[in-house]
Structure 1
């Protein structure tokens, strides 16, 4: 076997893996990298086992893909609280998605004259943050045709009425009723398609 065909396997310990739905997102994003043969996550051990060709993809690229989703790698050092606060203050663009409270939900969603999507998530969930980019892009593409909102399940109770067992999930409403459930990883096109049907 030539050096360029040799595969390496690395077990990467992941921090902030808070729910089992994190696993498919991590696996999918890492497997998109050219040179990665397989990525298998374990919620129990909070690790991602990656088999890759070091001649085609560098371990740093794999780590960067994990970090782009909002996760951290246990063996790396990260900036402290002061650096994070500076980073928050320097944010470029706030989210265009409006957060809903339990009190606003009936008027904005159930009585809405056009299709409405609600992303049920939490701000601390990296998987939710990974989905939010596609959700925000769909909101821009559907401006004027549909309304897109988000609800934090940690500070609201509405989600309990809709049998939500895992986050993130998007519920699409038409005429006050749930028309579709999208989750946990719909693409922008799927979100837009569900709201245009």
Structure 2
């Protein structure tokens, strides 16, 4: 299960994390976001120990999404060492997200 992050703990939980971090920017009212939720949780389990997976509610936290130019959700961003490695927007297949993660953490 992916943990929740906020504007307040984003730097400590994501940017300063030793592992690559996949952040799911979502909102409760967003249908595609709700569809992606279980997929993101499955990825958190499958990549446990290799990456950290967190979710950020964009309605409750507007500073961080604004900083990264997020205009549509769901948006998944893979961070490593405080830098953006990869970003995908929209409901995408689990296999394509797995490929993105595997290619960047190999």
TM-score w.r.t. length of structure 1: 0.50
Q: Is the 8 A contact 2:33 2:91 kept in 1?
A: no
Higher relative contact order (CA 8 A, sep 6+): 2
Q: Is the 8 A contact 1:138 1:189 kept in 2?
A: no
Alignment RMSD (CA, Å): 1.1
Aligned length: 102
User: Residue in 1 aligned with 2:80?
Assistant: 174
User: Residue in 2 aligned with 1:97?
Assistant: 2
User: Residue in 2 aligned with 1:116?
Assistant: 21
Higher Rg: 1
Q: Secondary structure at the match of 2:101?
A: helix
User: Residue in 2 aligned with 1:195?
Assistant: 101
- Structure 1 stretches lacking a partner, 5+ long: 1-95
Write the mapping of 1:48-87 to structure 2, written as runs, cut at 5 A. none
C-alpha separation between the residues in 1 aligned to 2:38 and 2:97? 12
C-alpha separation between the residues in 1 aligned to 2:48 and 2:10? 19
Q: Is the 8 A contact 1:120 1:167 kept in 2?
A: yes
- Structure 2 stretches lacking a partner, 5+ long: none
